[in-house]
């Protein structure tokens, strides 16, 4: 089952409910100057789409072109048992953003010790 939602900042997302988990996919756009390790990727001409781990629960999708690297989406994965705790989409989005900010800081520290 798929449900659409709109966050308080007017960005859109979808909630995908499977037998085992719930996936929140949320619009997010940010140009970044780092290239995280891909866990899955697909290339279409000169654009590469790449999933990367922000944390165990939160993943990012980046678009890599010859000139830019942009985060275009955030995904949050939750198992069915977790979903019994009522958490709204804005809280999930904010948690992913906080995890992303920590990821970027740690990535830069690792690259420039």
Number of domains in the chain: 1
Q: State the residue range of the domain holding 104.
A: 2-111
Residues 6-36: pLDDT tens digits?
Answer: 999 898 999 999 998 999 999 999 999 988 9
* Cβ proximity of 63 and 72 under 8 Å: yes
CA dist., res. 9 & res. 83, Å (int): 23
Residue 110 confidence class, pLDDT cut points 50, 70, 90 = confident
CB 24 within 8 A of CB 13: yes
Longest dimension (CA), the chain: 45
Can you read off the two tokens belonging to residue 85?
């705790």
58-86 pLDDT per residue, tens: 999 999 999 999 999 999 999 887 777 77
């Amino acid at each position: 089952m798929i449900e659409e939602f709109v966050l308080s900042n007017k960005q859109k997302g979808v909630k995908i409910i499977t037998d085992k988990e719930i996936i929140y996919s949320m619009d997010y756009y940010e140009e970044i100057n780092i290239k995280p390790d891909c866990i899955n990727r697909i290339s279409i001409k000169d654009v590469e789409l790449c999933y990367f781990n922000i944390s165990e629960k939160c993943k990012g999708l980046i678009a890599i072109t010859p000139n830019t690297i942009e985060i275009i989406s955030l995904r949050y994965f939750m198992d069915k048992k977790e979903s019994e705790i009522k958490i709204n989409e804005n809280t999930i989005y904010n948690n992913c953003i906080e995890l992303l900010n920590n990821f970027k800081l740690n990535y830069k520290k690792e690259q420039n010790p």
